[in-house]
Amino acid sequence: MVAIKLSDAIKRKREPQDAESDIDISSTDSENESQVDDEQEVINIDFDFFNANKNVDFHALKNLLRQLLGPQESSKIQLSALADLILDSPTTTIKTDGQESDPYCFLSFIDYRSNRTSDYAKYLSKVDSRLAEFLKSMDNSDKKCALVLSERLINMPPEVIAPIYNITLEDASNSLGDGKHYDYYVIVSRKFEVNVEVDDEETGARKRVKTSEIDYFHEEDRFLERNAYVHFDSESRKGLISSYVVIDHDSLIKSIKDVEAEIKNW
């Protein structure tokens, strides 16, 4: 068990009915609304980092995998077998109510060479020719490769990104022994298309239109893509896009440091 805690103050806007004011709202509605928006309630939450718990985490991992992969791709994979792979690999979870509670987040490094005949490895080899070629090159190489899976509840603060990567990288190094690390990482993630409301030029009515703008569920993906050895996305399926990144070790370390520095400036 990793006994590290990350205390984070999560701010949320107070509801108008919760805000107290002596100002006459009948004459200063706009001013009062501005003041309410500026008032924030602070909630302190302790995030505990644990190794995967085989006795507890199986079903929660399956649910998080289903969320990560989306309804279409997750139907192509044996999620139970994949959850078992995760539980047998260097995996870090984040919980708020002790080791026996369900994880809100996980990050796992699955050794490709040891599991290249697994259902998940076979699935990856069929996703795209670029990924298939890379995995084939790993079959004929002495380079070490990890299949990386990571997902979290959507309201998890991005401050957890660097610690969970650093902890899991250390666990992976301990698993490999002699201070070794993986040479490459194959990371599967997801993005989404953004819908916006615009004014119709002819009628002036508001309408929803789909734009070409893409946003990220995982903030670190922006940095991983910039430093990737291979990167490509799937076509949009009902607004969801699967993203695939192959990245070398030094570039992964750089990406995590960059995202950590970026978050500190927010």
Q: How far apart are CA 198 and CA 99, in angstroms?
A: 47
Q: Which of 126-135, 139-148, 208-217, 251-260 has the lowest mean pLDDT?
A: 208-217
Domain ranges of the chain: 107-264
From the centroid of its chain, how far is CA 108?
Answer: 11
When pLDDT is averaged across residues 80-96 and rounded to a whole number, the result is: 97
Q: How far apart are CA 164 and CA 158, in angstroms?
A: 11
Structure tokens at 183: 């040479």
Q: Which of 42-51, 55-64, 173-182 has the lowest mean pLDDT?
A: 42-51
**Phi and psi for 189 in degrees, rounded to 5?**
-145, -165
The mean pLDDT value of the chain amounts to 85
Whether residue 44 is predicted with pLDDT greater than 80 in this model: the reply is no
CB-based contact 90:168 (threshold 8 Å)? yes
Q: Which of 234, 266, 263 is nearest to 70 (CA)?
A: 234
Place of tokens 């610690």: 163
The CA dihedral of 224, 82, 180, 48, to the nearest 10 degrees, is 70
Structure tokens at 218: 């995982």
Q: For residue 46, what is the DSSP state?
A: E
pLDDT at 165: 98
pLDDT at 155: 87
Local structure of 135: helix, strand or coil: helix
Q: How far apart are CA 43 and CA 40, in angstroms?
A: 10
Q: For residue 217, what is the DSSP state?
A: S
pLDDT at 66: 97
pLDDT in tens, 128-184: 999 999 999 999 999 999 999 999 998 899 999 999 999 999 999 999 999 999 999
Q: Which of 153, 173, 154 is nearest to 165 (CA)?
A: 173
Strand partners, 95: 48
pLDDT in tens, 219-233: 999 999 999 999 999
> What are the counts of helices (DSSP H) followed by strands (DSSP E) for the chain?
8, 9
Whether residue 27 is predicted with pLDDT greater than 90 in this model: the reply is no
Q: How far apart are CA 223 and CA 159, in angstroms?
A: 15
Instruction: Please give the single-letter amino acid code of residue 126.
Output: K
Q: How far apart are CA 100 and CA 122, in angstroms?
A: 32
Structure tokens at 124: 């990856």
Residues 6 or more apart whose Cβ sits within 8 Å of residue 117: none
